[in-house]
Chains A and B, each alone.
Chain A
């Protein structure tokens, strides 16, 4: 393969899932923030708190559907750990300095794997507890527990999103392209994801497409 050839890192379906997740998640965070901190302006932007509740609930359905569909193609990459991950952690992933040599990574680096697993866990927790409050509001013990877990998951996702937005865009030029066009130049993929490329080329297939 020529070094300037483009290689597909995210299929159309993966990108569709990601954008569904992204849009629903951001709107859920904004409306959820409006509920938790009782912010009139956010309520007004959603047409009042009554309609914001309806929108929040149904966006939750979109979110969990997109989360599960994403897991179908991303989870397998996030569950593979080896010695390189330990070495990656010991050099802080190279995030704190561009001079350190970062061990070779697969399709996801160690930090991405942990972040994904954290968000997947928080995403499932926030969805399940959301359904509890929505569907069985009269069960006091379950609702109180769910309210708490829902809010803790909200904080976890709320911390992840700004980090993810930053690292996925201006901190790592070229990354955003994966979620727009789905392709990166071969040389870049080989440099950032050498183990994944090696797998791809050895015919084991690291890609679902």
Chain B
């Protein structure tokens, strides 16, 4: 099936945070007590029971007294997902047919390696020590429904559909560069940024740790050859050279 995706357009977002509420409602996540930090942004970060949130960015501007940007922060559902590459438990993080990176808490072993591998600082751990993050409403999208956040968004700042169409939609709206179009093999969450990604709190060029990529693409396949090669060498040696029997009588050669 065609890869599905989200298109996030901060220019359309009014910061109502209906997405935060709809997500909690659909995924049955409890409300949390938060702190007044002197702004409208609340909560201040993703938590084990907050899979997406609106980041409020006050940006300096020449033309206007203030530019206020609202950005939906969430799991990006990367094609080359660092979390999936480092995760040691099969099925704990898995790819849905729609292309989402979903998590299965029953299979999560709580090692927290995905924390280190995620370039977007998304995974959180719940009080049972299990990975907890946006799974693109895996149960909704499997039934051809939009994720709760996209469904509820009143302005179309979050839309869901065929990923190629989402890119076309952004381009039609005048965004030549869509954030996430090619990064990390293509992100499942695309962003129509009017300015550089840095302003919105995203890396210009998001990357998985080189060490992780090197392990995954080079050393891991080589290790098969290395370990298998040594075992094969032992067999060849046994046949070609044979065991070294120490004889008593060749003591004084």
Q: Which residues of A contact B222 (CB under 8 A)?
A: 155
The answer to whether B211 touches A173, judged by C-beta atoms less than 8 angstroms apart, is no
Q: Which residues of B from 214 to 242 have beta carbons under 8 Å from A?
A: 214-215, 219-220, 222-223, 226-227, 230-231, 233-234, 237-238, 241-242
Contact mask for chain B residues 112-132; partner A; CB cutoff 8 A; 1 contact, 0 none = 110111000000000000000
The answer to whether A138 touches B115, judged by C-beta atoms less than 8 angstroms apart, is yes
| A97 located at the interface, meaning its Cβ lies under 8 Å from any Cβ of chain B in the complex | yes
CA distance A145 to B86 in the complex (A): 12
Q: With A151-B215, A170-B238, A173-B243 as known contacts, state yes or no: A144 contacts B220, CB within 8 Å.
A: no
The answer to whether A49 touches B238, judged by C-beta atoms less than 8 angstroms apart, is no
CA distance A120 to B153 in the complex (A): 58
The answer to whether A49 touches B90, judged by C-beta atoms less than 8 angstroms apart, is yes
Q: Which residues of A contact B230 (CB under 8 A)?
A: 159, 162-163
Contact mask for chain A residues 40-83; partner B; CB cutoff 8 A; 1 contact, 0 none = 10010000011011000000000000000000000000000000
The answer to whether A148 touches B212, judged by C-beta atoms less than 8 angstroms apart, is yes
> Which of A6-14, A20-28, A186-194, A198-206 contacts its partner?
A186-194
The answer to whether B234 touches A163, judged by C-beta atoms less than 8 angstroms apart, is yes
The answer to whether B89 touches A147, judged by C-beta atoms less than 8 angstroms apart, is no
The answer to whether B116 touches A53, judged by C-beta atoms less than 8 angstroms apart, is no
| A158 located at the interface, meaning its Cβ lies under 8 Å from any Cβ of chain B in the complex | yes
Binding site secondary structure of chain B = helix
Q: Which residues of A contact B244 (CB under 8 A)?
A: 94, 98, 171-173
CA distance A170 to B115 in the complex (A): 46
Q: Which residues of B from 181 to 232 have beta carbons under 8 Å from A?
A: 209, 211-212, 214-215, 219-220, 222-223, 226-227, 230-231
The residue in B112, B113, B116, B251 that gathers the most chain A C-beta atoms within 10 A of its C-beta is B116
| A166 located at the interface, meaning its Cβ lies under 8 Å from any Cβ of chain B in the complex | yes
Contact mask for chain A residues 152-176; partner B; CB cutoff 8 A; 1 contact, 0 none = 1011001100110010001111100
The answer to whether A36 touches B220, judged by C-beta atoms less than 8 angstroms apart, is yes
- Distance of A48 from chain B, by nearest CB (Å): 9
The answer to whether A147 touches B238, judged by C-beta atoms less than 8 angstroms apart, is no
The answer to whether B237 touches A173, judged by C-beta atoms less than 8 angstroms apart, is no
| A38 located at the interface, meaning its Cβ lies under 8 Å from any Cβ of chain B in the complex | yes
CA distance A37 to B87 in the complex (A): 10
The answer to whether B209 touches A50, judged by C-beta atoms less than 8 angstroms apart, is no
Q: Which residues of A contact B110 (CB under 8 A)?
A: 50, 53
Q: How large is the interface on A (under 10, 10 to 19, 20 to 34, 35 or more residues)?
A: 35 or more
The answer to whether A40 touches B90, judged by C-beta atoms less than 8 angstroms apart, is yes
Q: Which residues of B contact A171 (CB under 8 A)?
A: 234, 237-238, 243-244
Q: Which residues of A contact B227 (CB under 8 A)?
A: 155, 158-159, 162
| B109 located at the interface, meaning its Cβ lies under 8 Å from any Cβ of chain A in the complex | yes
- Distance of A100 from chain B, by nearest CB (Å): 11
The answer to whether A147 touches B215, judged by C-beta atoms less than 8 angstroms apart, is yes
- Distance of B6 from chain A, by nearest CB (Å): 26
| A1 located at the interface, meaning its Cβ lies under 8 Å from any Cβ of chain B in the complex | no
Q: Which residues of B contact A187 (CB under 8 A)?
A: 248, 251
CA distance A24 to B76 in the complex (A): 40
Q: Could you write out 14 A-B pairs with CB less than 8 Å apart? A: A3-B248, A38-B88, A38-B90, A49-B89, A50-B110, A144-B209, A147-B116, A147-B212, A151-B223, A162-B230, A163-B230, A170-B238, A191-B246, A191-B248
Chain A residues in contact with chain B, CB under 8 A?
3, 35-40, 43, 49-50, 52-53, 94-98, 101, 133, 137-138, 140-141, 143-145, 147-148, 151-152, 154-155, 158-159, 162-163, 166, 170-174, 187-188, 190-192
